[in-house]
Structure 1
Amino acid sequence: MLAACCALQPTIAAAADAADAGYAIRLMTPETALKAALAGQAACRKAGFQATIAVVDRTGQVQVVLRDRFAGMHTVEAAIDKAWTAVSFKMDTTALAKATAAASASSGIRHIPRALAVGGGMLVEAAGAPYGAVGVSGAPSGDNDDLCARAAIDAVIDDLNL
């Protein structure tokens, strides 16, 4: 067994030498994340909703949280978790909600801490790269949260595609 293990080492070393030692990723600037959050808030207000908008980077780290003055206390954590869920599972949370419905093969995903499979979390992707996600909580339904999240993304997508 030891001989087999040691025989693989040159192959592994050659593969490691051939691989790049690092990689580049794209991230939103804090100013871009804030621009998205403000646009999401404006869309919610225009529709008559008091909500919280969260923007996370591609690793799920919070960049901006913007809670409107009358948004419920629970909306801050929910918005962050919706954004985290979208970026973690690489899909909008409305689609995740459908994919993880009760009795589905993936329903167990709903038991993962922080995973929030309800509408309002949307991926931010531009120029072929993921940038992060927007999460919205506080509108009267996930569909309405999605509308505000879409407005947030629409406000910055051209900036990110450059």
Structure 2
Amino acid sequence: MRRSILLAGLVLLPVTGMAQGLVAERTISASLAAEAVAAAVEACASRGYRVAATVVDRSGVVRAVLRADGAGPHTIPSSRAKAYTAVTMRTGTTQILETVRTNPGAARLPDIEGFLVVGGGMPIRAGDEVVGAIGVGGAPGGHLDDQCAEAGIARIRERLN
């Protein structure tokens, strides 16, 4: 009996020692997310691309979505998956794609549920902290989706700190 009480105490000791109370985290606001998706869709439209853009918060939850007139229905789930992938991995999806191509240990990343490992997803940072991500889908190439995502971030960059 004493052994089981002692064992239970030892098991719980590390957990109670780690308790810190509440954790404050910053995340992108709905208004900044809406501005970013609008800027990304506008940037692509000015080049003749009909896309959708999605911004997710730091936890991967959708904050804003905008689909351009005439954009295909697939652009919404692809933009969301790119944003989710970027925020989860804390890096751009083009960089993740390159890692998958060159590192055999990363070859299974595209198999993770909800991931889309093609260009067009970028983390949104406040300083060094990832507070969300933007994904763009529908341009004729991931590098073009990247450019539109960058335009979305550029629109709100000064208000991220």
TM-score (ref. length: structure 2): 0.91
How big is the shift at 1:90?
1.4
Quote the Cα distance in structure 2 between the aligned partners of 1:149 and 1:131.
15
**Which runs of structure 1 show a deviation greater than 4 angstroms over 4 or more consecutive aligned residues?**
none
List gaps (5 residues or longer) in structure 1: none
Quote the Cα distance in structure 2 between the aligned partners of 1:37 and 1:15.
43
Deviations 1:62-114 (A, max 9, x none): 01110001111111000000000111111110011111128722111111121
Task: After TM superposition, list the pairs within 5 Å mapping 1:39-54 onto structure 2.
Answer: 39-54=39-54
- Over 3 Å counting, the alpha-carbon distance change for 1:15 and 1:140 in structure 2 is same
* SS state at 1:100 partner: helix
Partner of 2:14: 12
Partner of 2:79: 79
Report the AA paired with residue 113 of structure 2: P
List gaps (5 residues or longer) in structure 2: none
How big is the shift at 1:12?
2.7
Partner of 1:151: 151
- Over 3 Å counting, the alpha-carbon distance change for 1:40 and 1:10 in structure 2 is closer
Deviations 1:39-63 (A, max 9, x none): 1111111111110000000000001
Query: How many residues align structurally?
Result: 159
- Over 3 Å counting, the alpha-carbon distance change for 1:116 and 1:9 in structure 2 is closer
* SS state at 2:53 partner: strand
Partner of 1:160: 160
Q: Is it true that 1:27 corresponds to 2:27 in the alignment? A: yes
Partner of 1:137: 137
Report the AA paired with residue 40 of structure 1: A
